């Protein structure tokens, strides 16, 4: 599921998680960065199902780069997808087209991984 850019990520998260609930019924724990903190999101997640939300925050005392637990997984995935030339810039006019290209890039990544094993 993708939504328009005028919806804040924290407000769109419950809709995204609800849309994948049937595909991934075993999903119980969600990691998110500080932008998703707040009681409103936690309350919305309790209505969806038995989901717990863990906010991964950067320490206030940290200076410079700090490796945060579980955060690297998302950043690594974005880096892999960013290697796809079509996803390097925002060429798409519709959400459906952008979503289709994300699926194609993900399929390409999985295909390469399977072929190398």
Instruction: Name residues of the chain where pLDDT drops below 70.
Output: none
| The pLDDT value given to residue 111 | 93
Count CB-CB contacts under 10 A for residue 32.
19
Does 92 map to a domain? yes
| The pLDDT value given to residue 50 | 80
CA distance 117 to 113: 7
Residues 6 or more apart in contact with residue 45 via CB below 8 angstroms: 13, 14, 17, 30, 51, 52, 53
| The pLDDT value given to residue 116 | 82
Range of the domain at 95: 70-117
CA distance 36 to 87: 25
Instruction: Give the dihedral sign, CA 108/80/15/51.
Output: positive
pTM for this entry: 0.60
**How many independent structural domains does the chain possess?**
2
Element (DSSP H or E) covering residue 32: strand 29-33
| The pLDDT value given to residue 107 | 93
Residue where a domain stops, chosen among 42, 60, 78: 60
Q: Are residues 26 and 74 in the same domain?
A: no
């Amino acid at each position: 599921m993708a939504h328009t850019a005028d919806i804040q990520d924290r407000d769109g998260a419950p809709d995204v998680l609800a849309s994948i609930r049937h595909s991934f019924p075993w999903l119980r724990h969600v990691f998110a960065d500080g932008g998703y903190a707040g009681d409103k999101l936690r309350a919305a997640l309790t209505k969806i199902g038995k989901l717990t939300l863990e906010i991964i925050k950067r320490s206030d005392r940290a200076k410079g780069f700090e490796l945060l637990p579980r955060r690297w997984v998302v950043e690594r995935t974005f880096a892999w997808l960013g290697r796809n030339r079509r996803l390097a810039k925002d060429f798409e006019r519709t959400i459906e087209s952008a979503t289709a290209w994300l699926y194609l890039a993900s399929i390409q990544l999985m295909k390469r991984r399977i072929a190398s094993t």
